[in-house]
Amino acid sequence: MTSLPSNPATLPVLRGGMVGMGMIFDETYAPFFEAAGHGLYDAATGAFRVELAGAATRTGDRTAAYVHRRGLTGFGNHIGENAVGDLLASGIDFLCVASPDDKHFAAAKQGIEAGHHVIIEKPSVLSLAELDQLVALAKEKDVLAKVVYHKLLDPDHKRLRTLVADGVLSHVNNGYCSLLEPKSISGSQFAAWITGRNPGTYVAVHYLKLIDFTFGGRLKSVQCTGQRGLVGPKNGPTWDSTQLRLVYEYESGREAAFDIHTSWVTPDNFPGYVEQEVQFRFDNGVWNGHSRKRGVELTVEGRTPHELKNTINNHYNASFLEPWGERSRRGYGIEVIERFAREVAYVELGGDGNGRSARLAEMAARDYNDLSADRQVVAAVEAMEAILAKAAAGEPNAVVEVNGRSGGLALYLPGKSEPEMLYQGTV
């Protein structure tokens, strides 16, 4: 094993910039950057370190609090109309976009246009037209454009995919997934940007990717229902919960259907805070997964279930006292960001300039996180958003056909024979 030098300042550095410094920054990006500042080692690149150079946010308050808490100097706190532009001009190598989902596209586009590698929090973007632009731009600018779906790195989901890839589990027929967030998410954490949004785009997307990446196949249709009245008015555009249904077809010509239920109005004293469950039924088996009930149940008088959780997911992101005495914060939520940094390092530090395009192509071919491989997921998100918008406008029960009779993404309303085309090209 190669050890890192005692003075990381001597290492080649990759400078990152953040757009958005909210909950997901605190949970995953902050621990990643804090650890990677001491150096990372990769056999393909040698040792390097990663530094967070600055952030572009709406108010700058959370950046200021972070800078104060960490005692940082020279950290760029960019706000205002040109916050992202100022961050890009401060000299960074890659941009992390973790702002609300309807703000991802503009920031990512700006980052790629400026010639920087970009990673976007899920959902990458909200339409195929936006995805097409970012993928084409990344190609033109010779940079990586990637998205974070940390559930693909959850050891349970990796095991599921392994059993499918190895043919141990054969042909998925149907399944359900549910992800329930507490009321505090919709009521306070996201209150500033929740109007007009829905929990499906925010969290069903994790399972859209899991299903798409694990089972492959061709997305054929999307349906969605939902409820309103808690987060916003009962006839308004803001949704409390959603029920999404996808139909896929596989090479054999056989189909599968998946139901994904999400909510952000579960009571705050729910024992596990975030409830995540999946069941997939195959020709020869059943996979039952519960990301919260993995076997640990904790009670601390006066502290659970609010400050500490009763059933804890220690695999996602948790603080540990390691057996060798060090304090660490680890988990797949952090590992997924580190993998992206290693991919950027491979392109930029993994050899001489002549080999850069080949290294870039190799990293862009990683379909677990490349934007070019996110088409069916973005199609499902775009379809779901359009179906919910129609329902909010008094036209419920639409169905979106994918690459069907009319091509691309075609939204059909009951009683109307002509579809509304959301996306004309092939998905």
Best CA proximity match to 274, nearest among 152, 180, 154:
180
Residue (47 or 381) nearer to ligand NAD, CB: 381
Structure tokens of 214? 């694990």
Least spacing, CB of residue 100 vs ligand NAD, in Å: 5
Pairing, β 94-97 against β 76-78: unpaired
Pairing, β 13-19 against β 94-97: parallel
Least spacing, CB of residue 89 vs ligand NAD, in Å: 16
Residue (64 or 413) nearer to ligand NAD, CB: 64
Q: Which residue is at the shortest CB distance from ligand NAD? A: 22
Residue (25 or 48) nearer to ligand NAD, CB: 25
Least spacing, CB of residue 412 vs ligand NAD, in Å: 29
3-state helix, strand, coil in the chain (%, to 5): 35, 25, 40
CA quadruple 191, 192, 195, 199: dihedral sign? negative
Least spacing, CB of residue 84 vs ligand NAD, in Å: 7
Least spacing, CB of residue 98 vs ligand NAD, in Å: 5
Question: How big is the CA angle at 36 (ends 33 and 42), to the nearest 5 degrees?
Answer: 140
Whole-angstrom Cα distance, residue 160 to residue 205?
Answer: 18
From the CB of residue 3, how many other CB atoms can be counted at a distance below 10 Å? 8
Alpha helices in 25-180 (DSSP H): 30-36, 61-70, 83-89, 104-113, 128-141, 155-165
Beta bridge partners of 401: 221, 410
Whole-angstrom Cα distance, residue 65 to residue 45?
Answer: 34
Structure letter (DSSP) for residue 5: P
Least spacing, CB of residue 282 vs ligand NAD, in Å: 27
Least spacing, CB of residue 21 vs ligand NAD, in Å: 4
Q: What's the distance, CA 120 to chain centroid? A: 7
Residue (121 or 382) nearer to ligand NAD, CB: 121
Q: Tell me how far CA of residue 17 lies from CA of 52, 53, 91, 98, 123, in angstroms.
A: 6, 6, 9, 11, 19
Structure letter (DSSP) for residue 60: S
Residue (194 or 360) nearer to ligand NAD, CB: 194
Residue (148 or 347) nearer to ligand NAD, CB: 148
Structure tokens of 390? 């129609």
Is 396 buried (19+), middle (13-18) or exposed (0-12) by CB count in 10 A?
Answer: middle
Whole-angstrom Cα distance, residue 388 to residue 381?
Answer: 11
Residue (218 or 290) nearer to ligand NAD, CB: 290
- Residues near ligand NAD (CB under 6 A) are 19-25, 56-59, 62, 98-101, 103, 121-122, 148, 150, 189-190, 202
Residue (63 or 376) nearer to ligand NAD, CB: 63
From the CB of residue 165, how many other CB atoms can be counted at a distance below 10 Å? 11
Residue (41 or 193) nearer to ligand NAD, CB: 193
Residue (103 or 366) nearer to ligand NAD, CB: 103
Least spacing, CB of residue 239 vs ligand NAD, in Å: 15
Least spacing, CB of residue 67 vs ligand NAD, in Å: 13
Is 293 buried (19+), middle (13-18) or exposed (0-12) by CB count in 10 A?
Answer: middle
